[in-house]
Amino acid sequence: MTAPVALLRLAGLERIVVPGKRYPAPLPPDLEAYYCYTLDGGHSILVALENVYREGEPVRGYLVPAPVRAVLRAGYSVKQCRVGNDVRALVWCRLPYSPEIGLLEDPGDSEY
């Protein structure tokens, strides 16, 4: 399963997601709908960065594809939030992030 097209578009990822890929192991059911495979990041989960998000700002600027391993290790929660005019469930996770570089990934977390 791949994250919904509307979320991928909101995050600006629709051009770098490879359709039809699946994670090689079963994912927790609440993460399956947020799975995506990106050209530059491999097997990922589309998450909102909880530790960076500022209340009241549009969530789209905080949506990133994060390595599946990193999300599973860090822990996550699925919460309802306003996305544009809609309310939808998003995966929220606390992962290291730099405004200059982006998501700070452990090289061992990337899976292609």
What CA–CA distance (Å, rounded) separates 12 from 6? Answer: 10
What CA–CA distance (Å, rounded) separates 71 from 109? Answer: 9
Sequence spans of domains, the chain = 5-106
Provide the residue-wise pLDDT of the chain in tens; the chain has 112 residues.
Answer: 567 888 899 899 999 999 999 999 999 999 999 999 999 999 999 999 999 999 889 898 899 999 999 999 999 999 998 887 888 999 999 999 998 999 999 989 999 9
Tokens representing 79 are 């919460």
Write down the pTM of the prediction: 0.93
Contact in structure between 46 and 69 (CB atoms under 8 Å)? no
